[in-house]
Structure 1
Amino acid sequence: MKVVTSRDNALVKRLHAMAASTSQQRRADHVLAEGIHLATAFLDAGGVPHQCVISESALDDVEAQAVLRRIDDHRVTMLPDALFRQVSTVVQGVGLLLLLDRATPVLPDAIERDCVVLDGLQDAGNVGSILRSAAAAGVRDVFCVSGTAYAWSSKVLRSGMGAHWHLDIHEHVEPADVLSRLRVPLALTDSHGAQPIDRIDLGGPVAWVFGNEGAGVSAAWRDAPHLRVTIPQPGGMESLNVAAAAAICLFEQGRQRRAHQG
């Protein structure tokens, strides 16, 4: 284990810049994943971190010790608590973070299985929650249209709770990139003139598009042939949070498939 005590250290400077803003994280070559849960989820998925950084006090934490036992010692750096706080994005918690290689999957030639398209979602919590629902529902591919919150930011990672390690996340895609490759029906949620989700056959693969929290789905998707799906709301609310709507759609699809199988 390496010990670093200077704020002028190259690794410390790098982490400090990444912790300062999402824009810095987007420009970086690596991903900053902080906390025991994310570290454990990453290791459970078979990942090998580029670097593990731990605070001095966290060395006495049982869960942190369990994480360290799974990482080669030459990849571990210890910082004094005061210095670790300067590179941390978490106010409270065990002082442990991983610096990871960022996955950059290649767009498939043809999209023939379930997928999720995030069309300009701005809220990091919503993006992370949808990634978590997609992974839980068994969806593998997520396409983030330009303008969507950075999927590998610290906030999205924390909200995703480890979902990232089970997904192929394609960022900075344009609608045409997906539409030209799509070989499955496109589905959009719509509160007006659409069929209730439980009356639409979702037994086959579907490309779900979830749009911006305020503006909704952009014209490129609405102009393409698509299924119009509504989620019944007997309580009379005008709309659902986009992350809640996504979870309902994905798990209704799973429910129908299980019903067909049994």
Structure 2
Amino acid sequence: MKTITSRDNAQYKDLKHLATSSQARKKAGQTLLDGVHLCQAYLELRGLPVQCIVSETALNNPEVADIVGKIEHQRGHTIALPDALYNAVSQVEHGVGVMFQIDTPERAVPDAMTVSAVLLDNVQDPGNVGSILRSAAAAGIKQVYCSGGTAFCWSPKVLRAAMGAHFVLDIFENVDLAPLMAASRIPTLATSGYARTRLYDADLSKPVAWIFGHEGQGVADDLLSLATQTVVIPHLGQVESLNVAACAAVCFFEQVRQNQQ
């Protein structure tokens, strides 16, 4: 275990940049996972991080000590920071005191979609993106394709909202969604308040690709025109529409319901 005590340390400065700058994360191809749950999930599903960063006080926490022990057993790298330096990096208030520095995956976009997937068109709120990823993973969906205007999936806020879903999904970013939809080998479905088919009457027994759009504007018209089918989610209350993350969850779990019949 290496200990860093100076704010002027070059490695520490790099950590602060990763924590606070989306541009730095994208340039480095790395991000930070903050908290016991995310770190445990990464260890279990993906293996060793680039390095583990831990506060001195957190070393007394049994869960953190277990994580550090597993990393050192596998000859991984751990950095210990005084609490003040750690807290200046962490984006979580009153956190436990452990984070992982990891490489963000880079994947080539497939020629065509063949398994159940989610397409996010300019979904800008990190909390919504993270919630959609979490629901998709829970529903057994395998792939997520994000347009250039969608919130960066590996940002700390999205990671916290997704609660480990990233590690069981194949996530593709900065994707041109139109040709992907045009070449799809499975039906592509969009929700619309003007659709005539109810979600519950659509055939979701086979793989489908769902597309969800911007929180205020919805799915762009050109993409909506490429959808195989549009469906409406019936609702009784006097509200205009559902939040995009809630809408996605309803769709995913209707798909689950139909496949469990």
Contact 2:2–2:78 (Cα < 8 Å) also in 1: yes
Match of 2:83 in 1: 81
Contact 1:26–1:153 (Cα < 8 Å) also in 2: no
Match of 1:35 in 2: 35
Contact 1:175–1:220 (Cα < 8 Å) also in 2: no
Q: TM-score, normalised by structure 1?
A: 0.95
Cα distance in 2 for residues equivalent to 1:215 and 1:46: 36
Shift of 1:180: 4.1
Shift of 1:74: 4.8
Number of positions where the alignment pairs a residue of Structure 1 with one of Structure 2:
259
Match of 1:101 in 2: 103
User: Which AA in structure 1 matches 2:52?
Assistant: C
Match of 1:144 in 2: 146
Match of 2:47 in 1: 47
1:211 equivalent among 207, 210, 213:
213
Match of 1:116 in 2: 118
Shift of 1:99: 0.3
User: Which AA in structure 1 matches 2:206?
Assistant: G
Shift of 1:192: 1.6
Cα distance in 2 for residues equivalent to 1:195 and 1:186: 14
- Cα deviation 1:60-81 (Å, max 9, x = unaligned): 0111011112113550010001
* Distance verdict in 2 for CA 1:225–1:143, change over 3 Å: closer
Cα distance in 2 for residues equivalent to 1:193 and 1:172: 28
- Cα deviation 1:200-222 (Å, max 9, x = unaligned): 11111111000000111012211
Match of 1:223 in 2: 225
- In terms of mean alpha carbon deviation, does 151-160 or 223-232 score higher? 223-232
Cα distance in 2 for residues equivalent to 1:30 and 1:252: 35
Match of 1:20 in 2: 20
Query: 2:206 is paired with a residue of what secondary structure?
Result: coil
Match of 1:156 in 2: 158
Contact 1:116–1:141 (Cα < 8 Å) also in 2: yes
- CA root-mean-square deviation: 1.3
Match of 1:90 in 2: 92
Cα distance in 1 for residues equivalent to 2:23 and 2:223: 27
Over the matched positions of the two proteins, sequence identity in percent amounts to 46
Unaligned runs of 5+ residues in structure 2 are none
Q: TM-score, normalised by structure 2?
A: 0.96
Query: 1:208 is paired with a residue of what secondary structure?
Result: strand
User: 4+ runs of 1 displaced by more than 6 Å?
Assistant: none
Cα distance in 1 for residues equivalent to 2:196 and 2:243: 18
Contact 2:53–2:98 (Cα < 8 Å) also in 1: yes
- In terms of mean alpha carbon deviation, does 191-200 or 56-65 score higher? 191-200
Match of 2:181 in 1: 179
Query: 1:223 is paired with a residue of what secondary structure?
Result: helix
Contact 1:189–1:228 (Cα < 8 Å) also in 2: yes
Contact 1:32–1:98 (Cα < 8 Å) also in 2: yes
Cα distance in 1 for residues equivalent to 2:20 and 2:227: 42
Query: 1:148 is paired with a residue of what secondary structure?
Result: coil
Cα distance in 1 for residues equivalent to 2:183 and 2:108: 13
Shift of 1:100: 0.4
Cα distance in 1 for residues equivalent to 2:228 and 2:196: 11
Match of 1:68 in 2: 68
Cα distance in 2 for residues equivalent to 1:225 and 1:68: 48
